[in-house]
Amino acid sequence: MARRGAANVVPMQVHVADHPLIAHKLTLLRDESTDSPTFRRLADELVTLLAYEATRNVRTESVEVKTPVARAHGVRLAKPRPLVVPILRAGLGMLEGMQRLLPTAEVGVLGMVRNEETLEASTYAERLPDSLVGRQCYVLDPMLATGGTLAAAIDFLVRRGADHITVICLLAAPEGIARIERELEHIDIPVELVTAGLDERLNEVGYIVPGLGDAGDRLYGVV
C-alpha cells in the first residue's frame, strides 16, 4: 500500500451536495412517517443525483465518432472500468441508483461487521477483483456514522491496489469524517466523500442526529 508521512496528510475531500431537489428528497427521507417503499424510491433517486456529483472525476479517454453529418471528437469512459462497491447490507439499497448513471461499471460487494466488544470492523463477505490496480472505486454506504466500517472498507480497497476512492453516503456525521481522516492518514491516494447532508453529531448509541434512523431497517421494511 502506498504510504506517506504524517506531514503530507491531505484531509478527505468532502462534498456536501447543495441542490434544492437533493434537500427536498432528503427531508422526505428523514421524515419518520415515510414508509419503506417511498424511502427506497427516494434513496434511489438521491443516489442518482449524488452519483452525478461523485463521477465528476471519472476517467475518460478521447474518442472520435462519425455522426450522420461529420466526424466529432468526444470522450468515453476509460479502461479499466470503474468499480462500484456497495457495503452490505444497506449499501445494496443504493446500487440501482448508481448503476443508472454508470451502467457499464463493474460491481463488487463488501460485507463488513463490527465486533461490539472491540468496536473493530472486519470483513465477513467479499466479492471483488483480486487486483484493483488502476481502478477508480465508488463505495456505497448510506450512513457515515462512527466511520469504523468505511475506514476499514477504504483500507481494504487500498490494499487491493485501488488508486482513487469516492464514498457516496446519504448522510455523514463529523465524528465519522474525523475518524476516517485519522485512521487513513497513511493512505496516499485521493479519497473523496460525496453526501447529501452533513449532520450535527452522533448520539450516545452511534446514531446520526438528526439523521434518519436506521437506514437498513427503513430500506428493508424492518420498521
Binding residues (CB under 6 A) for ligand URA: these are 143, 145, 206-208, 211, 214-216
Active site residue 214: yes
Catalytic annotation, pick one of 89, 114, 155, 188: 114
Max Cα distance, the chain (Å) = 66
Catalytic annotation, pick one of 155, 163, 188, 217: 217
Active site residue 114: yes
Q: How far is the CB of 145 from ligand URA (least distance, A)?
A: 4
Task: Report residue 51 CA to chain centroid gap.
Answer: 9
Q: Nearer Cβ to ligand URA, position 80 or 206? A: 206
Determine whether 188 is exposed, middle or buried from the number of CB atoms within 10 Å of its CB (0-12, 13-18, 19+).
middle
Q: Nearer Cβ to ligand URA, position 57 or 203? A: 203
Q: How far is the CB of 5 from ligand URA (least distance, A)?
A: 33
Q: How far is the CB of 215 from ligand URA (least distance, A)?
A: 4
Asked if residue 195 lies in contact with residue 17, where contact means CB atoms within 8 angstroms, the answer is yes
Measure the CA–CA gap between 84 and 138, rounded to whole angstroms: 5
Q: Nearer Cβ to ligand URA, position 143 or 191? A: 143
Measure the CA–CA gap between 96 and 82, rounded to whole angstroms: 15
Note the residue count of the chain: 223
Task: Report which secondary-structure segment, H or E, holds 36.
Answer: helix 36-54
Q: How far is the CB of 150 from ligand URA (least distance, A)?
A: 11
Task: Report residue 23 CA to chain centroid gap.
Answer: 18
Measure the CA–CA gap between 7 and 202, rounded to whole angstroms: 29
Q: Nearer Cβ to ligand URA, position 126 or 214? A: 214
Q: Nearer Cβ to ligand URA, position 98 or 143? A: 143
Catalytic annotation, pick one of 155, 163, 188, 214: 214
Residue written as grid cell 437498513: 216
Alpha-carbon distances of 181 from 11, 12, 148, 176, rounded to whole Å: 6, 6, 11, 9
Q: How far is the CB of 141 from ligand URA (least distance, A)?
A: 9
Active site residue 55: no
Catalytic annotation, pick one of 18, 67, 104, 118: 118
Residues marked active site are found at 114, 118, 214, 217
